[in-house]
Amino acid sequence: MSSIFSLVHAPLELPFRSAFAHASARRNLGASIWVEVRRGSHTGLGEGCPRSYVTGETIDGCRSWIDQHIAEITCTCADLAGLLRWSAAHEAEIDRAPSAWCAIECALLDLFAREDGVSVEVLLGLGDPRRTYAYTGVLGDESPERFTALLEMHLAAGFSDYKVKLGGDLAADRAKLDLLHRRCTATGRTPRVRLDANNLWRERPLDAGPYLTELRAKFFAFEEPVAPGDVATLARLAVELDRDVILDESVCRIADLEHYTEFSRPPIVNVKVSKAGGIMRAREIVRAAAGRGLGVVVGAHVGETSVLTRAGMLLAQAAGDALVGHEGGYGAHLLTHEPAAPCLTLGRGGLIDLSHARAVRRPGQKRTASGGAWSAGWGLTLAERL
């Protein structure tokens, strides 16, 4: 096999069907860095989602980082062993552009798996991917009318697990949560709710506790109410509110976990493939968190395509019993179109069933009777060329 592959990258800004808002941003477009690697007849797809309010990255910064390293990467990352060596030797560099490396690593893993005719899970020695994955319904900081419409769509689809974005208007947030519980009860479901403040009280950390108390709402956990890394406030809030803290922006690297080992109420860690710097680094965080007895949420940036949805499935599988929630999978519900097929999109009950979303198989390739195997690589085929 030739050791030479080509690598191209471009910004990917896909229009949303409707805007999505939270305390840190409001988006009408996706904002990803897209990578394709090609060798022979095979193409691997990769994606990263730089977010300035999470890792300090921008699309332009990611592209500059790739241009700086592309020659070395194409020379030294010709196979899985080479990719792992390069990643281990350049941890500090990846820390500066985790989304850029995420896109490259995803594309290379996809390429290597396609060349071997296996899934990425099998390539990494994890066995076949599961058949189905269950997801959380995410409700943004919307107007009352828009929130009601989105809630009714989720209820009709059979969701019972929800993440609700807070906006900081006490009456509005209380009304949203009250409506959620009333409508779920009316449909015979007991909702499981967690809140996400997206660092809403980063400048006023003392206001977070009273606000969350005044909501008078039922929720089992709250995510990032104050500035990332405000360990003392997060530990205090967990005790005062008697609820689990979910760490998102506060944990981007495995070393960040060390700051939260002394919590009297163990936190939950939201792990996103992109912010962690790719699958391998994200999987290390998942394993380290689970090993410390912490819960894990597999998170997603709004606007991710099916490539990162598919990559997140690997983390959910790695989390095992530590998995508390799984975000993403909005695909065609949010994006007007995608650069990969099939489009992995939430179905009834918040499920994605891979056996119903298979990519085109090679001539002669058979579907397994169990439906548990996934075709080569991510199981996604290219629909648009850069």
Start-end of CATH 3.30.390.10 domains in the chain: 6-117
Residue ranges of the chain with per-residue pLDDT less than 50:
359-373, 384-386
How far apart CA 223 and CA 208 sit, in angstroms, is 11
132-356 has CATH 3.40.190.10 classification: no
Digit-coded pLDDT (tens) for 206-233: 999 999 999 999 999 999 999 999 999 9
What are the residue ranges of CATH 3.20.20.120 in the chain?
Answer: 132-356
pTM of the model: 0.91
- Enumerate the β-bridge partners of residue 335: 16
Model pLDDT, residue 193: 97
Positive or negative torsion for Cα 240, 245, 249, 253: positive
Residue from 182, 189, 207, 187 nearest 197 by CA: 207
| pLDDT, tens digit (0-9, with 9 covering 90-100), for 88-134 | 999 999 999 999 999 999 999 999 999 999 999 999 998 888 889 99
Q: What is the 3 state secondary structure string of 87-115?
A: HHHCHHHHHHCHHHHHHHHHHHHHHHHHH
Q: Is 351 exposed, middle or buried (0-12, 13-18, 19+ CB in 10 A)?
A: middle
Contact of 319 with 288, CB cutoff 8 Å: no
DSSP strand pairing (381-382 vs 221-223):
unpaired
CATH number of 6-117: 3.30.390.10
Quick one: pLDDT at residue 281?
A: 97
Q: Taking Cα atoms as reference points, which of 320, 328, 333 lies closest to residue 293?
A: 320
The 10s digit of each residue's pLDDT in 2-40 is 677 999 999 998 888 776 655 566 668 788 999 999 999
Q: Who contacts 109 (Cβ-Cβ below 8 Å, separation ≥6)?
A: 44, 80, 83, 120, 123, 124, 279, 377
Structure tokens at 74: 């194409």
